[in-house]
């Protein structure tokens, strides 16, 4: 039997357009909307696509601090999430749940 090697999967590799990013984040909110780590990790993937260093500067954090906050192991504040989404050119909105 042959050994099979798989490449490391990174969501950021598949987020090529603004539409891809919006669809991805919408799916994340539908699937894991009550799991802050899931959402933070998704924002981290988008941040890697957009240049984490520039984003960190715009948000007012160090690159390491922002990377940790958006890793899924961090616990970013709502203020951090809102700053990141704004810096990414996104907005957070609320809709009634059905």
Which pLDDT score is estimated for 5? 86
**Residue of 40, 38, 45, 58 whose CA lies nearest to 16:** 45
pLDDT at residue 93, as a whole number: 82
Q: What is the pTM of this model?
A: 0.80
Residues 6+ apart with CB under 8 A from 20: 14
The whole-number pLDDT of residue 75 equals 85
pLDDT tens over the chain, length 98 residues: 788 888 888 888 899 998 999 999 999 988 886 888 888 899 999 998 988 899 999 999 999 999 999 987 888 888 988 999 999 888 888 778 77
Question: What confidence score (pLDDT) does residue 71 get?
Answer: 86
């Amino acid at each position: 039997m042959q050994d099979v090697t798989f490449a490391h999967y990174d969501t950021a590799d598949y987020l090529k357009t603004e539409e891809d990013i919006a669809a991805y984040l919408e799916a994340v909110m539908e699937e894991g909307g009550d799991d802050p780590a899931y959402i933070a990790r998704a924002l981290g993937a988008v941040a890697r696509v957009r240049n984490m260093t520039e984003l960190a500067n715009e948000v007012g954090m160090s690159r390491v601090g922002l990377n940790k906050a958006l890793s899924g192991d961090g616990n970013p504040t709502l203020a951090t999430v809102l700053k990141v989404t704004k810096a990414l050119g996104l907005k957070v909105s609320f809709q009634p749940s059905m």
